[in-house]
Amino acid sequence: MNPLNKIIVDKETSFNPIWVMRQAGRYLPEFRKIRKENTNFINLCLNEKLASEITLQPLRRFDLDAAIIFSDILILPYGLGQKVAFEKNFGPRLGELNLNEVANVNEIEFTEKIHRVYKAIKKVSSDPILNNKNTIGFVGAPWTLLVYMLNQQSPKKNLKKDFFEDELLINRALLVIEKFLKIHIKNQIENGANIIQIFDSWAGLLGEKYIPNYIYTPTLNLVNYVRSLNVPVICFPREIKNYKEFCDIVEPDAISIDYNVDPKKILRDIKIPIQGGLDPKILLTDKETLKKEASKYLDIFRNHPYIFNLGHGVLPQTDPNMFDYLVKTVKNF
């Protein structure tokens, strides 16, 4: 059984596997070289040769227990025909959402448009370096994708004032998103992904009254779907106020926590396997601080099934030597 499955399925506590969000990418010089020559980010994600190479780069350097496919949650709106572009110093910019057009896309058209993502997963999962390791596929949660598709940019730059006005549009959009997320998940699993992570990057934006309809219900539907395919599912509802309630209702196989969460409180509240927590900025400090902070998480979760990870993605300015030191700290704990 692969390392993450031992923790998630068997509830093993004798070791802590490690993988890290955004481990494939921007902090590695070998990635930056590829990125410099491939300025269109979506095209890079859809180049199975390069996407699989980027996915495997960190595993060639570090003793990690899983690969996470180099892709993006916005591959889904792109596959549905919405314009998606990544602008330097701005982030993603999406075209106007024509829901009638999007709703008329069929499974074959959608799969055909982004099939190279699945080819990259197949390539990665069959690579000898992944022997006895996990291949992680992922999707954005329905709410987070809805935010990008309606807002047309990151809500860091503000959510449109009239965002919640058209409830019918929101509910219709969520149904379409959920339908195609299931197709996207199935395709990833059929091509070798043996764990799925659901990223709800903007879960923390919602007021309490909206959470049941926009987070709990659609995410629960996805979790149940992944489970029906006999693959474990990890949820990352970043900055949600009530992790316990999320776990009680959505019932993922494991929960990934962000760095604003008190790990001791999580340990008291949550019985399922836990992942993550360390602030990525700790990797920008020194080895002594890094060891102390990483050991804190390892110590707190010593008797609980725990996958070591960060509370968000690796920062671009991270020194690969510090990353290597983190992996060795976890392995030697």
pLDDT the model gives residue 162:
87
Overall average pLDDT of the 129-157 stretch: 95
Cα atoms in the 13 Å half-sphere on the side-chain side of 264: 1
- Identify the band that residue 124 occupies on the pLDDT scale cut at 50, 70 and 90: very high
CB-based contact 94:77 (threshold 8 Å): yes
pLDDT digits (tens, 9 = 90+) for 256-270: 999 999 999 999 999
What are the structure tokens assigned to 25, written together?
A: 């990418």
Dihedrals phi, psi of 222, to nearest 5 degrees: -70, -45
Distance of CA 241 to the CA centre of its chain: 19
Q: What is this structure's pTM?
A: 0.97
Query: What range defines the domain where residue 220 resides?
Result: 3-331
DSSP letter, residue 153: B
- Identify the band that residue 224 occupies on the pLDDT scale cut at 50, 70 and 90: very high
pLDDT the model gives residue 161:
85
- Identify the band that residue 214 occupies on the pLDDT scale cut at 50, 70 and 90: very high
Strands 306-307 and 84-87: unpaired
The CATH number that applies at residue 165 is 3.20.20.210
Tell me the pLDDT of the chain averaged across its residues.
Answer: 97
d(CA 207, CA 74): 24
pLDDT the model gives residue 10:
96
pLDDT the model gives residue 160:
85
Q: What is the domain count for the chain? A: 1
d(CA 133, CA 124): 11
pLDDT digits (tens, 9 = 90+) for 51-73: 999 999 999 999 999 999 999 99
Can you give the three-state secondary structure of 272-333, one letter per residue?
A: CCEEECECHHHHHCCHHHHHHHHHHHHHHCCCCCEEECECCCCCCCCCHHHHHHHHHHHHCC
CA end-to-end span of the chain, whole Å?
Answer: 22
pLDDT the model gives residue 159:
85
Overall average pLDDT of the 186-192 stretch: 98
Strands 134-140 and 91-94: unpaired
In the predicted model, is pLDDT for residue 40 greater than 80?
A: yes
- Identify the band that residue 156 occupies on the pLDDT scale cut at 50, 70 and 90: confident
Secondary structure E strands in the chain:
66-68, 84-87, 91-94, 134-140, 195-200, 233-237, 254-257, 274-276, 306-307
Overall average pLDDT of the 114-118 stretch: 98
Overall average pLDDT of the 292-316 stretch: 98
Percentage with pLDDT > 70 across the chain: 100
